[in-house]
Every structure is written in structure tokens, then in C-alpha cells.
Amino acid sequence: MVDLMTSDPLLAALDDDQRVAAEALIGPVCVLAGAGTGKTRAITHRIAYGVASGSYDPARVMALTFTSRAAAELRARLRVLGAGTVAARTFHAAALAQLNHFWPLVAGGPAPRVLEYKGRLLGLAAERCAVKVDTPTLRDVAAEVEWRKVALVGMDDYRARLASRGAPGTLTAQQLLDLVEAYEALKDERRAMDFEDVLLATAGMIESEPAVAMQVREAYRHFVVDEYQDVSPAQQHLLSLWLGGRRDVCVVGDASQTIYSFAGASADFLLGFERDYPDATIVRLERNYRSTPEIVEVANRLMRGRPGALRLEAAVPDAGDPALGGSDGAAEHGGAGRGEGRGHVPHGPAPDVMEFSDELAEARGVATRVRQRIDAGVPPESIAVLLRVNSQSALYEQSLGEVGVPARLRGAQRFFDRPEVREAVHAIRAAALAITDEPLFKSVSDVLRSLGWTVEPPDGPGAVRDRWESLNAIARLVDDQPAGTTFRVFADDLRTRAETHHEPAVAAVTIATLHSAKGLEWDEVHVPGLVEGMLPIAYASGLEAIDEERRLLYVGITRARRRLSLSWARSAGHRAEREPSRFLRELDIRTPGAAGPVPAAGAPARARR
């Protein structure tokens, strides 16, 4: 009898636990996947194996995730594995496609337009209510609107909850209610809906129209849901309607990475999956292929004893496993997506904690260390500085600039929105219509050269260097293409990337918030600002809120592959001395050059000078 593990490359590429998930093709499956354990590899190989074995009709499989970038990555991986016709979408994209298809049949005419953002309409609603609000308050009101809808909280219930939730800014509860109701009325008058309405309206059509329900359930038979710990009640309700009582659903998630509770996400659906499906196949992925054993140990220490927390196991060499001779990502530097296979990660330097006198000294200290690492040969794109809030970013951009380090603020202008990138995408697509038989790199580089790109970068920082970095990022995408990729296919893939904002790596240090870093990884990660009032944030009150801050730090720690550096500053300008984060005390990491570990909260900082 032929051993499937060795005969099928889709299974041979997986470790034992990943393979269990991949072979569980029918019925409810829950994959509890810790950070860096290869969950994306496991679910894409599972889908591809289901298609290759004939268990799945690729046209009837739906892979769901939460960001356009993650959906684009799923599609790219499935295409390489031979399952490129499988639909991989965000919840909102899948719901919007159904809404646009069925609305003319159910309601007549085209579906209402979807608002790009709520701010303008909320501003008009405030004018209608004669309520004065500033821009930050409007953003908070928009968040309240989103939370209420995705949490499936009706207006009457919301009104009752406001006593404990409180209203944003200086608004009274009644002013907030008036503003929200005016916003909803304006939406109806303008025949528009917001993104949350898309989920609710699609669910409403399936519930109220048997013909719609029948067609939707006929279209998709098997569902895979990534990042299931982030699902909201509205998304879970829609998923249940899509399933229609059927049981072919695979969910993948990690309760320790639930960091969007404020936006309605709930890990309860992940942790309660076995309760809802007592016969479900439960798979635990705990072997971490991303980070060094030293980083894995720090992550485990932070989450020890927390509900639903997995204990990660570093993928160190094991003589008993013949697959661990080579590494899928053990090199010190490289691009995202490494470290998800069956290779091993070598030991690395111990994570450290640095103490500084004030925030400026901390930012300059971090920048100096980053400069030293780049001078030692570390590519800048493999380094990240992860912050708790956006307001910290200006200081780190300035400090990195002072030492000549290029930096990119994640969440600023999108890559494909840059003028030079739009020009390059347009030129490549036009050239691909005529060029068919040249090597891919020659075709792409010829187009980029016509726009001013050169093999060698220009000297120094500035706008010229920024333009070159953008064009060079497109040139480097050629290296990521499967063998035999044509110029036309490359151009089409570039268009898809532009539409989904699936950005390539740019040769610059990334500055990002901990929230926006989720799903990404770097060789070296710096997490500054670890003081009480910043992490955990000052407004985090109660055990649940503090636990969310803990999970946020966990996400930051587990983004690091080779090196991790944490830091804190004793003061912020002229303010009183601050205390190190309680989480630092729990991690018990020795500070370089200090006599002992980070002092406990409340201990005098001067004792360590």
C-alpha cells in the first residue's frame, strides 16, 4: 500500500498535526493554531488536497478571512497549489457580491451604494441635530455605529447599554442617540448603506427569501474561516445562514490573538466550537516555525494560564524527524511567509529590555540600534518598530531619519496609490498586451527602466530615493513568481494586487501599530513604550480590557523571527516618572547592563540608575 504522506506532495509538505487538519476534509473541523505554527499553509494545503483528491468541487468552496491582503495571500497560495479557482474573500466581499446579485431580483433595481467612510454623513447628521462635534469624536461615533451593528445590538438594547458604555467625547447619551438615528435616516434618504449594513442586509435576504437561501447554499458547500477568533456576532450569524444547518466548515484561530474585541470580535465562537459540534475534529498546531526558541519562551511566559492559550513549542532540530534537515525559513533574513514549513529555527539572541531616561532618548536609542543592525547587513525591510498608538509614530520617524534609516509608516499612503506605482502598473499592463515571448524579468525591467528605474539605487534619502524604492519593489515581485509565469499573468497579478492592496515589500524599516502588525512578521522587532498607561493603555479598565492589552503585546512579540527588543522610558518630557509595564515584570527579562530584572510597578526607577 502506498503511503499517502510520501506519495502526495500536498501532504508531504506538512508536519504531523498540519496533516491531520489537511486530511479532515468532511464535517466540522477546528484548528487551534498558535502564532507561527503554519496555519495558512495547513488550510491552503487542506483545500488543495480536497480539490486534488476529488472531495471538493473548487467552485463550491469558500475560504473566508478578514482583510483584503489576507484574502489575496490565500488566493496566491491556492493558485500555486493548483486550486486557484477556489473563492477566497473577506466576509464583506462575499456578502457584497451576493447582495449585488440578489438585490435586483428581490427588491428591484441596483443595490444601494456602499459608503466609503462614515465621517461625512455623520457630520451632516450632527448638523441636522444641532450637535457640535470635532473630528476625533466623529471617529468615535463611527466606531460606536460599527460596534452596535456587528454585535447585533438593536437600538432599544443599545439605548439601555449606554448608561454603562458612556458616550464619546462630551456628547450626552441622548445626543449620541439622536446623532446615530439622524445618520441612519440620512443613509436611507440617500439610498446608501455602510459596510456593516452589507452583512446585515445579506443575512436578511437569506432569512426572508427561501429562493435566495437555496441558491446561496447550492453555490457553496464547504467553508473555511481563517482568523476565527476575530469573527463578530454579525459575521457568525451570516456564516450560519450560509451553512444552513450543514456541517462542512473548518475554522482556524488563536484565542491569544483576539485583539479586536472593541470592534465586536469575540473568541467565544472559537472556544465554543467543540460545544456546538461535539463530534468535531479538533487539531492543535503548537509547533512554532517562525521564531527562535528564546522568543517563543517569552511569548509562552506572557500567556501562561490564560483561557484558550496554546503553549508554543519551538521547532528546534529533531534527529527523529527526517524532514527537519533543512529549513523552510531558518535563514537569518528573508521575506514574509518563511518559517511556515517543516524546517527548524535555530537558537538566537535572548530578547532584551532597554530602559531610557525619557521618550526622546528611547526613540533615539531604538533608532541607533536599528542603524547598527542595518550596518551589520540586516535588510531594513526585515526590521519593524511596533507601537501601541499612532501618535508615537512621528517621534520614531524623526529619530530613524536622523540616523539615515528609511522608514515606512504602515497605514499611511497605500503603495498602489502612489503616483509612480499607478504609472508603472498602467505601463506594465499596456506592454503585456504586445510582449509575449521575452523572459519575464527583461519585460518588467524594460518597462521600469523607461520610467527611470535603475538596477543600483540613487544615493541618499529623499523623493528620488522613495520613487526608486517603489519601482524596485515591483521589480522584486518577479522573484516571487512561479517558474514559467508569463508577462501577461504577471500584469494580471499586479492588477489584482492593486485592487486588493496586497503590497510588496519596500526596502525600509516598518513603523506600525501593534494592531496593524497582526498577520505580519519580521526578522527583528522593537516594541518601545512599555509603560503603565501606554501598554496597558490608560483607558483599559477591568480584567477583560487588561487581558486584551496582554494579547496585543503577545501579537507584537510573536511577529519577531530572530531578534526581539522591548523598551520603556522613565519619563515623558516634563511629566512625572512612569512605571514599567506590569507585563515586563511578568516576562522577567534582564535589562542589559542592569543589576537585575525590570522593577515591579511602584518600585522607584531611580534604584536602577
3-state DSSP of 148-169: HHHCCCCHHHHHHHHHHHCCCC
CB neighbour class for 263 (10 Å; exposed up to 12, middle 13-18, buried from 19) = middle
The pLDDT score that the predictor gives to residue 566 is 96
The pLDDT score that the predictor gives to residue 411 is 64
- Establish if 337 belongs to a structural domain: no
- Establish if 309 belongs to a structural domain: no
Same domain flag for 211 and 276: yes
User: Higher-confidence residue: 235 or 155?
Assistant: 235
Highest mean pLDDT among 6-15, 311-320, 483-492: 483-492
What's the CA gap between 589 and 598, in Å, rounded?
Answer: 7
Looking at the chain, how many residues does it have?
A: 609
The pLDDT score that the predictor gives to residue 194 is 92
Sign of the dihedral defined by the CA atoms of residues 230, 233, 235, 239, in that order: positive
Domain end call among 265, 285, 305: 285
Same domain flag for 491 and 523: no
Domain end call among 142, 161, 193: 193
Same domain flag for 382 and 419: no
Is 34 annotated as belonging to a binding site? Answer: yes
The mean pLDDT of the chain is 85
**pLDDT reading at 393 higher than 80:** yes
Is 36 annotated as belonging to a binding site? Answer: yes
Same domain flag for 405 and 432: no
Same domain flag for 396 and 527: yes
- Establish if 272 belongs to a structural domain: yes
Is 33 annotated as belonging to a binding site? Answer: yes
CB neighbour class for 256 (10 Å; exposed up to 12, middle 13-18, buried from 19) = buried
pLDDT range class, residue 601, cuts 50, 70, 90:
very low
pLDDT range class, residue 334, cuts 50, 70, 90:
very low
pLDDT range class, residue 547, cuts 50, 70, 90:
very high
Percent of the chain whose predicted confidence (pLDDT) is above 90? 52
The pLDDT score that the predictor gives to residue 365 is 95
| H helices present in 433-504, as ranges | 440-450, 463-476, 487-500
The pLDDT score that the predictor gives to residue 480 is 73
pTM exceeds cut of 0.85:
no
**pLDDT reading at 280 higher than 50:** yes
* CATH number of 226's domain: 3.40.50.300
Same domain flag for 361 and 409: yes
CB neighbour class for 98 (10 Å; exposed up to 12, middle 13-18, buried from 19) = buried
Domain end call among 235, 267, 285: 285
pLDDT range class, residue 465, cuts 50, 70, 90:
low
What's the CA gap between 398 and 362, in Å, rounded?
Answer: 12
Percent of the chain whose predicted confidence (pLDDT) is above 70? 88
Same domain flag for 244 and 272: yes
Is 37 annotated as belonging to a binding site? Answer: yes
- Establish if 423 belongs to a structural domain: yes
Q: What is the mean pLDDT of residues 328-341?
A: 37
Helix (H, G, I), strand (E, B) or coil at 583: helix
What's the CA gap between 60 and 63, in Å, rounded?
Answer: 10
Same domain flag for 469 and 388: no
Tell me which residue range forms the domain holding 145.
116-193
**pLDDT reading at 146 higher than 50:** yes
The pLDDT score that the predictor gives to residue 332 is 28
- The b-or-e profile of 582-605 (16+ CB within 10 A means b, else e) is bbbbebebebeeeeebbbeeeeeb
- Establish if 461 belongs to a structural domain: yes
Highest mean pLDDT among 5-19, 111-125, 327-341, 578-592: 111-125
Q: Mind giving me the DSSP string for 509-559?
A: EEEEETTTTTT--EEEEEE---BTBBTTBTT--SHHHHHHHHHHHHHHHTT
pLDDT range class, residue 164, cuts 50, 70, 90:
confident
**pLDDT reading at 493 higher than 90:** no
pLDDT range class, residue 350, cuts 50, 70, 90:
very high
Same domain flag for 533 and 595: yes
Same domain flag for 530 and 600: yes
Q: What is the mean pLDDT of residues 173-189?
A: 91
The pLDDT score that the predictor gives to residue 41 is 93
What's the CA gap between 141 and 122, in Å, rounded?
Answer: 8
Residue 485 φ/ψ region, left for φ over 0, alpha for ψ in the -120 to 50 degree band, beta for the rest: beta
**pLDDT reading at 21 higher than 80:** yes
* Angle separating helix axes 233-243 and 195-208, nearest 10 degrees: 30
The pLDDT score that the predictor gives to residue 525 is 97
- Establish if 319 belongs to a structural domain: no
What's the CA gap between 458 and 472, in Å, rounded?
Answer: 11
The grid cell for 324 is 527537519
**pLDDT reading at 335 higher than 90:** no
H/E segment holding residue 98:
helix 91-106
**pLDDT reading at 573 higher than 70:** no
Contacts of 586 (CB under 8 A, 6+ apart): 301, 302
**pLDDT reading at 72 higher than 60:** yes
Residue 200's identity, in one-letter code, is L
- Establish if 298 belongs to a structural domain: no
**pLDDT reading at 25 higher than 90:** yes
Q: Residue 282: phi, psi to the nearest 5?
A: -110, 125
- The b-or-e profile of 37-59 (16+ CB within 10 A means b, else e) is bbbbbbbbbbbbbbbbeeebebe
Q: What is the mean pLDDT of residues 138-147?
A: 88
pLDDT in tens, 396-422: 988 998 898 988 887 655 677 778 888
**Do 205 and 102 form a contact (C-beta atoms < 8 A)?**
yes
How many contiguous H segments (helices) and E segments (strands) does the chain have?
A: 24, 16
Q: Minimum mean pLDDT among 124-133, 533-542, 584-593: which range?
A: 584-593
pLDDT range class, residue 299, cuts 50, 70, 90:
very high
Domain count of the fold of the chain: 4
pLDDT range class, residue 598, cuts 50, 70, 90:
low
The pLDDT score that the predictor gives to residue 508 is 87
Q: Minimum mean pLDDT among 80-94, 203-217, 324-338, 388-402: which range?
A: 324-338
Q: What is the mean pLDDT of residues 123-131?
A: 90
Same domain flag for 386 and 248: no
- Establish if 347 belongs to a structural domain: no
The pLDDT score that the predictor gives to residue 7 is 52
pLDDT range class, residue 600, cuts 50, 70, 90:
very low
Same domain flag for 541 and 596: yes
pLDDT range class, residue 501, cuts 50, 70, 90:
low
What's the CA gap between 344 and 597, in Å, rounded?
Answer: 30
